[in-house]
Chains A and B, each alone.
Chain A
């Protein structure tokens, strides 16, 4: 509880615990996956969304589906929560392995609540962390009744936390009811019993409870969801009504949601035999009139590359979502990495320009999906959305979008046209509007969409002139798009010693590192890039304001010392001040890690002068 400011030392002689007012708390819950750990995290996140707290959660998916360690970390705050939090204030440990494995994630002096039925605390650690042992399993069984085994101890634990953090009990009851209603009546009854047993549990060990400071007012209701949900619903809001994919972690839940939800909107989502079929089906549907979506993670994205090139060549709009995980090959299926940027920008043979966008947080996933669809539609080009495992599984609360405004109808227009040239070279910026099957073309000349280089009607040609002109046409569309992109804003002052550049899910921890550095008087700012290919205008001017530029990425520094975005920026700007801060441990950045690496850059002194080329 870093943000602890005031202490209403309300400790009473009668043993009533002291109440401290805090700004935020990081709570880590560790157990096995079948314990419903994610459910407690979900309750806390949604509760925060319904009150005024900001919330951000961090979740690991265990590699074994049933059984095996699972954790959920939730950071709740009354201010703006940027990252999942480096260190936990409270650890709730269900088992010995949870205790042993996660104690180190507590800040010094932090509190560990452990289940005395399963955990033997380490005496050496008792001085370093506050220990409170509770027979969670026994008490849960007592509360629910003999036959229940210890199922429900997650809700018992939720009750404990509700007492400890003075959480809104009626709202929690409402959430529990919503979650369990529709099931067998006894399920809800047992859950409530367990919750109240946890809430009512008192021991002398409760020397302190906490209350969140008044939050700044947020207007309207918040929605609470993870990044994959936000992408799926964004795709629906954008008007997409057809998609196809093949399951793979961590992409699968996007397709599961779309499969379940699209029929409500008159659409459909197809589970295909493989990823090549999936992108091909999406290409077919896009060709037939309306932007379609496909997606995958790592290996599946590699499989899609030849088909992606077809969409570039035939100028068919398409949205491809990549929920990045660690690679190469099967890699780290349930861990995070940002190592598919090169694949997204350059994958597929030939000169094949396409667009690459990366959402920065859960809310941004929703709006990025819409932006991607609209870019695809306007420029007739495939658009990549590069999300990652961290955003996919992170739950955040954000203001409910104004759906009436945001939702769009992208049905094709079948009004007959007099004539049509699908690859008209005279069109400004290289963009040719599409005329789709079903539309009568009165001069009787119909287009063929193909992967061969073609003339303006789409028919094959080996003409050197046409290949040059068509290559330029495909490129000019992206150059035109680039001119319309907003100049990104520097976080912090626009001039200083060090600029940290990031993309995708790392925006939060990078900005938090900047906040801490500036609070300590250090001259560090940051810049977040959402449009990665093409890059937005204005970067050169921004870079000019800083002594050093470091691109913070979760990927390898590469053969020549630069991560994937750093390499792209160096190639683009020829600026030797650009280098990387990289890591490949499959985990999200801790604020502390970024800060240490940034300080090392400052300590090393200013970058060498740009070489002056003798004329």
Chain B
């Protein structure tokens, strides 16, 4: 039996693979057949997740795939790994519990725009500011897919939905700006129609030591067809990458880039190093245990009780 990790520094995250283990294949990684509509953008995100696991030689028992509720949030059922399909909006809080108590696991969170920015908005803010080490991919389709076409917090003004038959009237959220303002340490943007770029962003996010956030445009062909054509060169749009001159540590510059009108830019907007919550907690633990070296847990408690006698 392995020694159970209590909480230890984040360094334990990369686990050397046993020599005989071959990288997992798509066949081994595929679980349930996805329930998404044919042509849904979410398929490409899933395919690239499989590719990432294969390429980076991650192992099924060392990853957890976590989501909330929504079409995009069905994700964990389609992946042959430990996974959790949590409740609507709260996936990041759940994932934080996994990440903080098990720094040896890779934690990936997939969710929709409603899941992450409406009902889960508060958790998004606080997971980002706490810099919890995990990768969060917002599969943004500008609409509520699962519940069949209601306005989402990212729906552009004028979008006609079942809850705004005359067109959306509430000003939309810009996920990249939101992430920057919340204090995320890695913020990137990509789109399902550019698989190579999605893969680049996922790899960079995974390697980031902290909270890594990717907004991935993912078209809902059922309820918002053509939403992202302007970002797809094959459909007459333009795919502009973040200019090479952009300084990813410059928050204000990142914000300005993110403020460009659609289709805007794609790539890494912001990336800085700040201690993760896990690392901070590990420091507190190390400091607390320094004075208690050699004592068993029951003896530590005994010492406390002696002061209460």
Contacts and interface: CB of A to CB of B under 8 A. Distances in A.
Contact of B301 (A221, A233, A266, A440): A233
Contacts of A438: 2, 61-62, 102, 104-105
A168 to B, nearest CB: 14
Interface in A20-44: none
Contacts of B93: 272, 276-278, 280-281, 284
Interface residues of B, number: 62
A287 B287 CA distance: 28
A276 B93 CA distance: 8
Contacts of B86: 280, 283-284, 310, 450-451
A288 B277 CA distance: 18
A449 interface: yes
Contacts of A241: 6-7, 101
Nearest to B282: A268
B260 interface: no
Given A242-B97, A242-B100, A277 B309 contact: no
B281 A283 contact: no
Interface stretch (B118-126, B160-168, B189-197, B268-276): B118-126
Considering residues B6, B104, B296, which has the most beta carbons from chain A within 10 angstroms of its beta carbon? Answer: B6
Nearest to A236: B301
B96 A437 contact: no
Given A284-B101, A414-B4, A448-B77, A263 B288 contact: yes
A314 interface: yes
A446 B100 contact: no
Given A50-B309, A444-B80, A292 B101 contact: yes
Chain A interface bracket (under 10, 10 to 19, 20 to 34, 35 or more): 35 or more
Contact of A437 (B80, B82, B90): B82
Contacts of B174: none
A46 B61 CA distance: 50
B61 A287 contact: no
Contacts of B104: 438
A448 to B, nearest CB: 4
B259 interface: no
B262 interface: no
A404 B295 CA distance: 12
Question: Which residue, A281, A292, A307, A452, has most C-beta atoms of chain B within 10 A?
Answer: A281
Contacts of A534: none
Contact of B90 (A264, A307, A414): A307
A132 B223 CA distance: 82
Given A273-B126, A437-B61, A449-B84, A221 B309 contact: yes
A437 B87 contact: no
Interface in A261-293: 261, 263-268, 270, 272-274, 276-278, 280-290, 292
Contacts of B307: 178
Interface string B263-302: 0000000000000010001001101110010001111111
Contacts of B284: 263, 268
Nearest to B2: A414
A307 B97 contact: no
Contact of A288 (B32, B98, B281): B98
B300 A264 contact: yes
A229 B64 CA distance: 35
B60 interface: yes
Nearest to A241: B6
Contacts of B77: 448, 450, 459-460
B4 A459 contact: no
A317 to B, nearest CB: 13
A284 B126 contact: no
B97 A282 contact: yes
Interface in A438-460: 438-441, 444-452, 459-460
A389 B81 CA distance: 44
Given A50-B309, A277-B123, A237 B301 contact: yes
B1 interface: yes
A400 B305 CA distance: 8
B116 interface: no
Nearest to B63: A437
A282 B100 CA distance: 10
A62 interface: no
B15 to A, nearest CB: 9
Contacts of A452: 85
Contacts of A214: none
A383 to B, nearest CB: 17
B94 interface: yes
A521 B95 CA distance: 61
Interface in B37-78: 59-62, 64, 66, 69, 76-77
A381 interface: no
B255 to A, nearest CB: 23
Interface string A396-415: 00001101101101011111
Given A237-B301, A266-B285, A451-B85, A244 B97 contact: yes
A8 interface: no
Contacts of A272: 93, 126
A265 B295 CA distance: 10
A221 B105 CA distance: 44
A416 B302 CA distance: 35
B122 A273 contact: yes
B238 interface: no
Contacts of B298: 237, 403-404, 406-407
B31 interface: yes
Interface string A238-263: 01011010000000000000000101
Contact of B285 (A268, A400, A404): A268
A274 B122 CA distance: 9
B98 A287 contact: yes
A499 interface: no
B308 interface: yes
B83 A446 contact: yes
A49 interface: yes
A292 B97 CA distance: 9
A7 to B, nearest CB: 33
A419 interface: no
A560 B32 CA distance: 50
A480 interface: no
A222 B289 contact: no
A307 B119 CA distance: 14
Contacts of B83: 446-449
A450 B76 contact: yes
A280 B28 contact: no
Contacts of B296: 407
Contacts of A358: none
Contacts of A445: 80
Contacts of A498: none
A414 B1 CA distance: 6
Contact of A287 (B6, B94, B299, B300): B94
A341 B178 CA distance: 41
A225 interface: yes
B304 interface: yes
B285 A263 contact: yes
A437 B80 CA distance: 12
A439 B60 CA distance: 9
A241 B87 CA distance: 24
25 contacts: A49-B309, A50-B309, A223-B305, A233-B304, A261-B304, A263-B281, A268-B101, A268-B281, A272-B126, A273-B126, A277-B123, A280-B97, A284-B86, A284-B95, A285-B100, A286-B97, A288-B105, A290-B101, A407-B301, A414-B1, A436-B82, A439-B61, A440-B61, A444-B60, A451-B85
Given A241-B7, A263-B287, A459-B77, 13 more contacts: A237-B298, A276-B90, A276-B93, A280-B87, A284-B84, A284-B97, A285-B98, A287-B98, A306-B87, A310-B87, A414-B2, A444-B28, A459-B31
A-B pairs with lowest CB-CB distance, top 7: A284-B97, A411-B4, A450-B85, A280-B93, A266-B6, A281-B97, A407-B298
